[in-house]
Structure 1
Amino acid sequence: MFRQVPVLPVVVPIAAAVFLALLWSLRRRHRLSVPRTVLAAALCVYVAGVTANTVFPVFLDKPTGDVPLSAFLNLVPVVGYEVSDAVQNVVIFIPVGVMVSLVLARPSWRRTLAAAIAVSLAIEVTQYVTAHTLAGGHVADVNDLLSNAVGGAVGIGLLSLLERSPAIGRALDRFRWR
């Protein structure tokens, strides 16, 4: 059995530090409120969960051998990609579209979708790097990136639909950081 980097001692302190930084930022801009604090907490818990499930396991002593750079990397769209993986990646990124729309100072479809793609790309690059340097257990996959982008777009669309209701729109405004 290989020794693994423990997940919780890594992601929990990082999430807590990011949470405190977000609260400090909101306070400094005189925007701190209970709904925005709840959104900051939800964002940190979400990011910690996604990190725990997409980057870990990371092994401390797993032999890597001479692995080519193309290993742990799939740049061919659709081929061999299972529908269940696509659906899972779409669903997992719906909150990104919603939360990023609420956090951005000037949200737009383009900016929010770009942020979702940037987050997904960061995950895929991290998976690739950890697979080669720390014997991580994931493959960087262009299909995941595409599915995550679709999920982010669905989240943006869902939030846009909800905002059409005046009551829901007013409630959502309490969570906005702008």
Structure 2
Amino acid sequence: MFREVPVLPVVVPVAAAVFLILLWYLHSRDRLSAPRAAVALALCVYAAGVVANTVFPIFLDKPARSALWKVYLVPFANYEVGDAVTNILVFVPIGVLVPLLVAKAPWWRVVAVAAAFSLVIELTQLVTRNLLGGGHVADVNDLIFNTAGGALGFGLCSALSRVPAAAALIDRFRWR
């Protein structure tokens, strides 16, 4: 067996530290409230979950792969519907969280953040698989469907923001 970097002792302290930094940030700008703290917590838990499930396992002593680096670059080839739906659903929170965190977040900025976050994940998977014996493969389809999930989340948030009662509630959670 290969020795693994344990997930929880890495991800939980990092998420907790980021959460405390976000609370300090809100407090220093006199914006700290329970709804905004809930957004900070949701962001940290979400990011920790995504990292734990997309980057890990990372092995300490598994030999690096000597073959060419494996990347799936052909869109929609051998990609299952279940994987597409999962990737869309996992990135819907990005489309909701970004408009809560950033004042006047246009759709293209939210989509760009979702695409950038997904690209970072895919590049990390490529590096960890080939240098640390990780178990995930970089796939252009993941990038496509993750980005679509971010756009869907933004659409849902925008639609809810047009309902007066929901808009008032959403505004309590906004950081601007």
- Gap regions ≥5 residues in structure 1: none
One-letter amino acid matched to 2:45: V
Percent of pairs with identical residues: 61
One-letter amino acid matched to 2:75: P
SS of 1:174 mapped into structure 2 = helix
Tell me which residue corresponds to 1:108. Answer: 106
Kindly indicate whether the alpha-carbon contact (under 8 Å) linking 2:65 and 2:130 is maintained by their aligned counterparts in 1. Answer: no
> Matches of 1:52 and 1:103 in 2, distance apart?
23
Tell me which residue corresponds to 1:176. Answer: 174
> Matches of 1:143 and 1:79 in 2, distance apart?
8
Q: Normalized against structure 2, the TM-score is what?
A: 0.97
* Deviation at residue 23 of structure 1 after TM alignment: 1.0
* Deviation at residue 151 of structure 1 after TM alignment: 0.3
Tell me which residue corresponds to 1:39. Answer: 39
Tell me which residue corresponds to 1:83. Answer: 81
The count of residues paired between Structure 1 and Structure 2 equals: 176
* Deviation at residue 105 of structure 1 after TM alignment: 2.5
Q: Normalized against structure 1, the TM-score is what?
A: 0.96
* Deviation at residue 110 of structure 1 after TM alignment: 1.0
Tell me which residue corresponds to 1:12. Answer: 12
Q: Quote the RMSD (CA, aligned, Å).
A: 1.0
Q: Which of 113, 128, 132 is matched with 1:134 structurally?
A: 132
- Gap regions ≥5 residues in structure 2: none
SS of 1:78 mapped into structure 2 = coil
SS of 2:173 mapped into structure 1 = coil
One-letter amino acid matched to 1:77: P
